[in-house]
């Protein structure tokens, strides 16, 4: 992280995504010892991270801002992990810590793994509860229902879960994680295999989305959230920084319109900070960008242009409603938006 050995070694050793070491779940019945409780937990994210962005979007769509507080880490890490230098005195105002790693240490000292986001911390004890990025959003959708806002969408409807899971599995393997396997490849063959997989899957998804507005059913689901967080970063970082450059998102008519549709939907674009995204990838990944230079482009104005996807039907929130305005203290600064 930052100038740490881990980030300096990117592109020099085979990339393998670590499994979540802390997989406790926060549930309605508290079966893992962590019951759903308003105000008890703190969600720690980086707006740069696509895995954390899933949780940001889900939290906002479900209206959990008042029940699950938010800590936003600096997009540029250092050797000691994600840091709270965006807050006064460089400390998270609720947890009182300077580095997310302190919450990890409070849970398990010297555990074998890196410090990752998203992370949910038990505020009273300061202990990490979970960093299971695959499960956190599913639990927000299904276990936190008693605290959802009125009109919150069902992001993981039971009757569609089999299809959603199947779509998400392909998106994860070839797109979400595929861009990292391409970007951190150590050899030509490894890179070409990963890059080809990224675009093969994107072309399949474009075909699926050519005549339907959303990936599964007629409304936004967890599957759309997971694809969006990669698409919104594609031209800004994955096309150049990760060498996924067969074509740009803006050059694929279907996926570009689909991504703009979601971006312009409350709960999606209003959580995206392009400044954080670009600075994190280009300044932290010193193994593949040793100069730390952050490119000026791409032009972001296109994200706000008409998409015309409403012609395909469907309703973003099904029988629900859009979330309300972003809380003032969580708004993305103007320099991070188109």
**237: CB partners within 8 A, 6+ apart:** 277, 278, 281, 282
41 given a catalytic annotation: no
195 given a catalytic annotation: no
What is d(CA 293, CA 170) in angstroms, rounded to the nearest whole number?
33
DSSP 20: P
Catalytic choice (49, 195, 263, 282): 49
What is d(CA 15, CA 21) in angstroms, rounded to the nearest whole number?
17
4: number of Cβ within 10 Å: 16
Buried b (16+ CB within 10 A) or exposed e, 133-171: bebbbbbbbbbbeebbbeebbbbbbeebeeebeebbebb
Catalytic choice (41, 104, 156, 180): 180
Max distance between CA atoms of the chain, in angstroms, equals 54
Give the pairing of strands 41-45 and 69-72: parallel
Alpha-carbon dihedral of residues 176, 305, 295, 242, nearest 10 degrees?
Answer: 20
Residues carrying an active site annotation: 49, 180
């Amino acid at each position: 992280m930052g100038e740490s050995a881990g980030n300096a070694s990117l592109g020099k050793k085979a990339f393998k995504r670590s499994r979540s070491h802390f997989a406790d779940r926060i549930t309605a019945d508290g079966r893992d010892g962590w019951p759903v409780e308003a105000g008890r937990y703190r969600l720690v994210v980086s707006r740069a991270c696509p895995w954390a962005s899933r949780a940001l979007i889900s939290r906002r769509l479900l209206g959990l801002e008042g029940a699950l507080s938010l800590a936003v880490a600096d997009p540029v890490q250092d050797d000691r992990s994600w840091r709270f230098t965006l807050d006064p005195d460089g400390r998270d105002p609720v947890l009182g810590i300077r580095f997310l790693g302190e919450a990890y240490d409070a849970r398990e000292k010297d555990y074998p793994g890196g410090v990752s986001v998203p992370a949910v911390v038990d505020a009273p004890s300061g202990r990490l509860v979970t960093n299971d990025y695959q499960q956190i959003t599913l639990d927000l959708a299904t276990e936190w229902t008693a605290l959802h806002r009125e009109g919150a969408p069902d992001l993981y409807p039971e009757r569609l879960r089999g299809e959603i899971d199947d779509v998400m599995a392909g998106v994860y393997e070839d797109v979400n994680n595929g861009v990292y396997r391409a970007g951190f490849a150590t050899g030509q063959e490894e890179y070409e295999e990963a890059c080809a997989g990224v675009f093969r899957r994107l072309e399949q998804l474009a075909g699926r989305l050519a005549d339907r507005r959303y990936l599964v059913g007629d409304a936004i689901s967890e599957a759309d959230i997971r694809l969006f967080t990669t698409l919104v970063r594609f031209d800004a970082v994955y096309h150049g920084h990760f060498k996924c450059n067969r074509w740009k998102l803006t050059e694929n008519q279907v996926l570009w319109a689909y991504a703009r549709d979601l971006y312009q939907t409350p709960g999606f674009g209003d959580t995206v900070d392009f400044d954080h995204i670009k600075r994190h990838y280009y300044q932290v990944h010193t193994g593949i960008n040793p100069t730390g230079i952050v490119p000026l482009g791409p032009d972001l104005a296109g994200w706000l242009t008409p998409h015309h996807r409403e012609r395909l039907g469907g309703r973003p929130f099904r029988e629900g409603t859009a979330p309300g305005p972003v809380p003032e203290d969580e708004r993305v600064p103007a320099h991070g938006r188109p």
